[in-house]
Amino acid sequence: MSVPRPNNKRPAWILYLHVVCVYLFLYAPIIVLVLFSFNTDRRNATWQGFTFNWYYQLFCDENVLRALGNSLKVGLTSTVIATFLGTLAAIGLSKYQFKFSRLAGSLAYLPLVVPEIVMGISILTLFLSLGIKLSLMTIILAHIAFCISYVVVIVRTALAGLDKSLEEAAADLGANRWETFRYVIFPQILPGIVSGALLCFTLSFDDFVIAFFNAGVGSGTLPMAIHSMLKFGITPEINAISTIMLAVNIIMIIIVKYLNAKDR
């Protein structure tokens, strides 16, 4: 005699409601921030009307523009250098075996798990012990050290998916190592390199902790400018800056997703 089993399946609408509640919990504050960046009320307490005035005032603020310029300089410079060094490191760790290669590969992941405040203080201590004056260059150097690991991880993942028979075929056709890399390996890992570069720029552009510890006089970045503005309360200008930074991050994520999907 068979015993009927209890039906433990929940109705589909309960699962959908659960998903909606989770996403509302995650993104409702961001939606409110974006909406209030267009609010006419400077106190930012209630919705009074729609305006672009805060964005206009934001781009007329010399301090904000200076901080934005510093963030772009730091982000672009650190991205180019970190991407170049990280790609070379990933190729060396993936293609060649040497003494302590496993240890070197493990150490490449260390900055990913070290808290930013620890890394910021440690890099600051290094600069002070070497007598290096804090400036925009020290922020760039700190961000290079911070971002290289992300490039190594992404490019090594791209290299792991390569078909080794293509390299062997190129060698059989008379290509040397440089030609094999240029015409066979590099085109296949290019989406991974670009993804790592975009991730580096996003992390560098948004970083506050490491930049805060290693910034000199007059070298403050945009997140540091936002932190200074928060001392006077949350104003629509802060919401406008946050909305712009959010838009930049979303664009970067879309590009990375597109490149990863294209690579597959």
What is the distance between the alpha carbons of residues 255 and 258, in angstroms, rounded to a whole number? 5
Averaged over 169-181, what is the pLDDT?
78
pLDDT tens per residue across span 116-145: 899 999 999 999 999 989 989 999 999 999
Averaged over 202-214, what is the pLDDT?
89
Q: What is the pLDDT of residue 14?
A: 83
Residue 173 phi, psi (nearest 5): -85, 5
Across 52-69, b (16+ Cβ under 10 Å) vs e yields eebbeebeeeeebebbbe
> Between vectors from CA 170 to CA 164 and to CA 176, what angle results, nearest 5°?
110
* CB-facing half-sphere around the CA of 72: CA atoms within 13 A: 7
Instruction: From 2, 62, 31, 5, select the one nearest 225 (Cα to Cα).
Output: 62
Q: What is the pLDDT of residue 225?
A: 85
> Which band of pLDDT confidence, cut at 50, 70 and 90, is reported for residue 169?
confident
Q: Cβ atoms within 10 A of the Cβ of 115, count?
A: 9
What CATH code would you report for 62-263? 1.10.3720.10
The tokens for 47 are 């919705």
Q: Where are the domains of the chain?
A: 12-51, 62-263
Report helix, strand or coil for 176: coil
Rg of the chain, C-alpha, whole Å:
24
Task: Output DSSP code: residue 207.
Answer: -
pLDDT tens per residue across span 46-81: 788 888 888 888 888 888 888 888 999 999 999 999
CB within 8 Å of 188: residues ≥ 6 apart: 158, 162, 166
Q: What is the pLDDT of residue 49?
A: 83
CB within 8 Å of 260: residues ≥ 6 apart: 191, 195
